Amino acid sequence: MPPLPREAPAGPTAGTRRERDGHESLRERVADSGWRRRIAARRSIDHAYRMGVGIVGGLVVAVGLATIPLPGPGWLTVIAGLFVLATEFMWAERLLEFTRRHVRAWTDWVGRQPVWVRLGIGVLTAAFVYGVLVVTLHLTGVPDWVPGWVPLWR
């Protein structure tokens, strides 16, 4: 008697992403590349590679988290670190997808608002960044390389 065909697993998380959505995840694309398959073929090198990705991605996320309150690309750095981690770790891939969905939802919501609301959000964001800059300069002092004509504390 021939074996019964295996049924595909049910549920929204069943199967690979390609089977569910019709396209591969970042982690699957990296794993399918030739260089990654060569690394994965040797367990000790694969383990070291995954540890290196975890350390580098974790450091990038940590730097991003530390720079969030400062003017600059804090959140962008966090997302870049998650991107690095998502090449090897499923949990980072899910967190990156969660972040992408929420950023898109926020962007869509802001885009549907009247101009005065968008301007208000921009003014509040600029005021927050200015406030963080002032507090940072107050706590750390104005660097010596800032020219005297710049209206900051001395």
19-74 pLDDT tens trace: 555 567 878 888 888 888 888 888 888 888 889 999 999 999 999 888 877 767 88
More confident residue, 51 or 16: 51
Mean pLDDT of 141-152: 71
Mean pLDDT of 15-22: 54
**Cα(88)–Cα(108) distance, integer angstroms:** 30
DSSP 60-95: HHHHHHHHTTSSS-HHHHHHHHHHHHHTT-HHHHHH
pLDDT in tens, 95-121: 999 988 998 998 899 999 999 999 999
In the Cβ-directed half-sphere of 10, how many Cα atoms lie within 13 Å? 0
| Predicted TM-score of the model (pTM) | 0.63
Domain boundaries, the chain: 1-111, 113-154
